[in-house]
Amino acid sequence: MSEQLTRADLSSMAPEEIQTARRSGRLNALLNRPEATVNDILTLIERDQPPEPADDGAEPADDGQLSRADLADASPADIVKAKAEGRLDALLGRMA
């Protein structure tokens, strides 16, 4: 069996690296099933993120960041492009 990855490993990996690791079975122990989807992986990463601030009724700023809902129908190529453009930074907990 291939070396299994940890949550810490995922946080520094590009989406295409995560997909390759998933296909090769290196996420099976972490996700407890071999057929895990990109959304399963995002959910796993998001569990380690601090909660979002409470909604104060103000309109959210359109900073170009994508949400999980935006990614639901995105192709792997679109996800890789969005990550390269920094549009997944908030979702991945990389924004201050």
pLDDT per position in the chain (96 positions), as tens?
568 888 778 777 888 888 788 788 887 777 776 566 667 667 766 665 555 555 555 445 567 898 888 888 888 888 888 888 888 888 887 765
3-state secondary structure of 94: coil
Q: Which residues contact 28 (CB under 8 A, 6 or more apart)?
A: 4, 34, 36
Does this model's pTM top 0.85?
Answer: no
Half-sphere exposure of 75 (CA within 13 A, CB side): 3
